Amino acid sequence: MGRNQVYCCICGGPFLESGTRENEPGEWLCHPTLWTTVHNAKDGPESDMYKWELGMHTYLPYDLVDPVEDSQRRVLEQEATYQEHNMFLISESGEKVPAFHVVGNESALYLAAHGKCSQLVQRFISSRPETHDVFQISDKDEISSVKQLWQVIFTRIPASGRGFAYNVDHPTRYYGITSLHLTEWEPDNNPLAGECVEADPIEVPQLTECILDNLELYVPGIRSEATSTDLEDQDRGYNKLINKKELPWLWDLDEDVVRKKQRTGDWNWELLVDKLSGTDIYRPEDETLRLPLGLRNRRRIWKCIEDARLGDIQRQIGPPLLGFAVPMEGNLWDGYTPKSQQPTL
């Protein structure tokens, strides 16, 4: 059997060993960050200790050893290097730790995420109209702080007193890619999915130009199901694209390039914004827009973050997942219906 591959708790993509993808697609997967929680103590910040207990017939979920007021706690992010077999080397301290697992009866607990996924989390939080720097969160609310995202992911961790957990489940299976969660990352098993996951979601070359290549000419008097014939609506569509409030994942859109494009003719901005707001553009096979895979991957990860809800999956109680997921039937990119999209009873 090959090694056990570890997967990011935000995007579901693999961690690759440093130096294996230099100047190649997937290089961004070689840069993890570890999240842990600390609290204020007399001599400075101290790591929160987590514990596991054996119940009547099964392991109970992880819990804090000595809870303190949430106002005294924060999430600490540390750069690290992936070693393999669920071990990470913290860059600053040189300490080697596992992710998603309490060592012994009690220890610090670390969540493993890609550095660029952490950046996307910060971008998402900065786009929220209000932020709440607390761990408490309603099961109906979107996350508005790193603390709240920690709490959501913490409730997804498969609890166990032995062995390691190599991945953390997601209500949509990270939009299908957990079917590729094998003992070792092998993107050739599904090249389309593998290429999309490995595409850098932050550094997207020619992002603005690629989006504008999808513009269609505005034809007065011709109305589609998605667009209006009103010139004022086209102006509103243009302003939505420029303001980015409805498309916050396009924070790096070059406004000057967009303004220059506007001056070159009458364009159907409303239709473009409508397509960019589509629910399926993260899929690499989507044909509504021509987009680079990095931007599709960004949209997929952004959806994973905005879908996060407290209690959105049932904890796995008992033996941990050993890096495997049950292959999905149907379209690779389909998953469970996230709690955020389920009807309210």
Q: What is the pLDDT of residues 22-79, one digit of tens each?
A: 888 899 999 999 999 999 998 889 999 999 876 655 566 788 999 999 999 999 999 9
Residue 253 tokens read as 């859109």
Provide the 8-state DSSP code for 188: G
Report which of residues 321 and 307 the model is more confident about: 307
Residue 242 tokens read as 């420029």
For range 199-215, the mean pLDDT: 97
DSSP three-state, residue 38:
strand
Q: Give the least confident one: 45-49, 95-99, 115-119, 313-317.
A: 313-317
The reported pLDDT for the residue numbered 160 is: 59
Among 121, 34, 130, residue whose Cα is nearest residue 75 = 34
Check pLDDT > 70 for residue 183.
Answer: yes
Which amino acid belongs to residue 111? L
For range 151-175, the mean pLDDT: 82
Q: Give the least confident one: 103-107, 125-129, 160-164, 265-269.
A: 160-164
For 120, phi and psi rounded to 5 degrees? -65, -35
Q: Which residues contact 70 (CB under 8 A, 6 or more apart)?
A: 134, 135, 136, 147
Among 123, 141, 121, 144, residue whose Cα is nearest residue 132 = 144
Confidence of residue 182 (pLDDT cuts 50, 70, 90): confident
Q: Where are the domains of the chain?
A: 27-199+301-341, 207-291
Q: What is the pLDDT of residues 104-145, one digit of tens each?
A: 889 999 999 999 999 999 999 999 999 999 999 999 999 999
Query: pTM for this one?
Result: 0.88
Among 268, 276, 224, residue whose Cα is nearest residue 246 = 276
For range 259-269, the mean pLDDT: 94
How large a percentage of the chain has pLDDT more than 70?
83
How many other C-beta atoms can be found within 10 angstroms of the C-beta atom of residue 212? 20
DSSP three-state, residue 46:
strand
Q: What is the mean pLDDT of the chain?
A: 85
Confidence of residue 191 (pLDDT cuts 50, 70, 90): confident
The reported pLDDT for the residue numbered 222 is: 55
Q: Give me the DSSP letters along 125-178.
A: HHHSSS---SS---TTSPP-SHHHHHHHHHTTSPB-SSS-------TTTTTTGG
Confidence of residue 317 (pLDDT cuts 50, 70, 90): very low
Residue 212 tokens read as 């504008």
Distance CA 79, CA 84 (A): 16
